[in-house]
Amino acid sequence: MTTSSWAVARLLRDRNAALYLTGVVVSGFGTSALWLVSGVWVRDLTGSDGLAALCTAALWAPTLLGPVLGTVADRVRRKPLAIRTNLALALLLLPLWTVRSAASVPLLFAVLLLYGAAGVVEEAAGSALVATAVDPALLGDFNGLRTTAREGMKLVAPLTGAALYTAYGGPGVALLDACTFVLAAGLWVPLRVREERPGPRRANRRREIAEGARLLWSNPVLRPLVRAGGATMCLASLGSSLNYAVVDAVGHSPAYTGVMYAVQGVGSVVVGLVSGPALRRLGERRFAAYGIALTGVAVAGRALDSDVTLLACSLAGGLGLPCVLIAAYTAVPREVPAAALGRATATADTLMFTPNVLGLAVGAALVELVDHRLLLLVFGGGLLATAASLAQRNASRTAARSPSDANPA
């Protein structure tokens, strides 16, 4: 048995890890389906590529409030919070049954914004919960497997969502997503996690909210990873906002994006399974830098109007993009005190995914003004530069450490 398979088997034998990951798979299935369908849904109702791209921006926009929303996860017990948030998400999706025309598209955007906000709270609570339930030595393997569970849904969820959308429209997909959140909440009820009673609230609320950012930015391990993560997500999302234009250029309908996401899911499954051993061998910075570089090649390669190249780039993007996120989320619980982990995780989300929101919004405007092939080459080059910068910082740090290592006092 390989090191990777041994670690995965050990994690899956753990009751808490198995229950949590199963819940992630179930809820991730519904989220992935709605994520794809919301854009197709809006495009079919309005005929606008720009508005379709803004659906994903609406889902990510609440990460701007990550430091505030993450504080909630540090003020209450995290297990009940995660369960209640999933149930709230199920209820939130029910109004989407009324979205039948272009006039009701604003309601869809409002639901997506609230959906994203609840997701930030659930992610902060879940990440802090996991840090107390999983062996720290296996945290990289767990984060990789969680990425596999979430991103692996792209293998089936978008295709299932597209089929359900074709048969029953967007409301049918919303109902599916609501059911998955109820199931996930039920799976997390039996989790056996011992949680300490949260400490008293600070008198200075602003300082309490800013604590996550201070802990991240003052840490020499976390700062470069989070910074590179933000740049990567911005540039990758700029490329993603061109998906409908890319698909149109090779002669397919917007629903073909579901095929792209499914192929991307294959790459994400693979990198999630091998991330634990890769992190131990390469270290977090090099692992992240290699992934960013591969993402850059994938984004630039989509400038070629070819079905084969498009699918190959989707696979490469699935392999490369999660690396910097897995590296950052593995380092955060190790470097940050447990009492502030909710804020730190949510703030890391904000710092890495706020550029994602900006990229999607800017890309939605640029796709109407500039040829998408030129934009893809520019964004891919930016990713390669980001990877080179992170790798160079790692090399400089290693070189600076070498003299003392070679000649200990």
Return the CATH number at 134. 1.20.1250.20
Give per-residue pLDDT as tens, 14-69.
787 788 888 888 888 888 888 878 888 888 888 887 788 788 778 878 888 888 88
Residue 274 lies inside a defined structural domain of this protein: yes
Confidence of residue 407 (pLDDT cuts 50, 70, 90): very low
Give per-residue pLDDT as tens, 233-252.
999 988 887 888 888 888 87
Residue 197 lies inside a defined structural domain of this protein: no
Q: Tokens 């930030």 appear where?
A: 120
Give the rounded percent of residues in the chain with a pLDDT score beyond 70. Answer: 89
Give per-residue pLDDT as tens, 156-176.
777 788 888 888 888 888 999
Structure tokens at 2: 């390989």
How far apart are alpha carbons 173 and 37 in whole angstroms?
Answer: 8
Given a cut of 60, is residue 409 above it in pLDDT?
no
How far apart are alpha carbons 147 and 397 in whole angstroms?
Answer: 28
Residue 199 lies inside a defined structural domain of this protein: no
Give per-residue pLDDT as tens, 320-379.
999 999 999 889 888 888 778 888 888 888 888 888 777 877 887 887 788 888 889 999
Residue 115 lies inside a defined structural domain of this protein: yes
How far apart are alpha carbons 124 and 353 in whole angstroms?
Answer: 14
Contact by Cβ (8 Å): 277, 288:
no
Residue 83 lies inside a defined structural domain of this protein: yes
Residue 407 lies inside a defined structural domain of this protein: no
Mean pLDDT of the chain: 83
Confidence of residue 403 (pLDDT cuts 50, 70, 90): very low
Going by C-alpha positions, the residue among 359, 336, 362, 361 that lies closest to residue 348 is 336
Residues, the chain, total? 409
Domain span at 256: 3-189+205-400
Q: What is the pTM of this model?
A: 0.74
Residue 185 has a pLDDT of: 92
Residue 303 has a pLDDT of: 87
CB atoms within 10 A of CB 264: 25
Q: Return the H-helix or E-strand segment holding 200.
A: none
Contact by Cβ (8 Å): 301, 239:
no
Q: How many CA atoms lie within 13 A of 245 on its CB side?
A: 25
How far apart are alpha carbons 40 and 1 in whole angstroms?
Answer: 43
- Amino acid identity of residue 29, one-letter, is F
Structure tokens at 74: 């540090």
Residue 200 lies inside a defined structural domain of this protein: no
Residue 406 lies inside a defined structural domain of this protein: no
Given a cut of 90, is residue 312 above it in pLDDT?
yes
Going by C-alpha positions, the residue among 318, 319, 349, 320 that lies closest to residue 332 is 349
How far apart are alpha carbons 181 and 186 in whole angstroms?
Answer: 9
CA dihedral 156, 305, 381, 267 (to 10 degrees): 20
Residue 405 has a pLDDT of: 43
Quote the number of domains for the chain.
Answer: 1
Structure tokens at 263: 């192929």
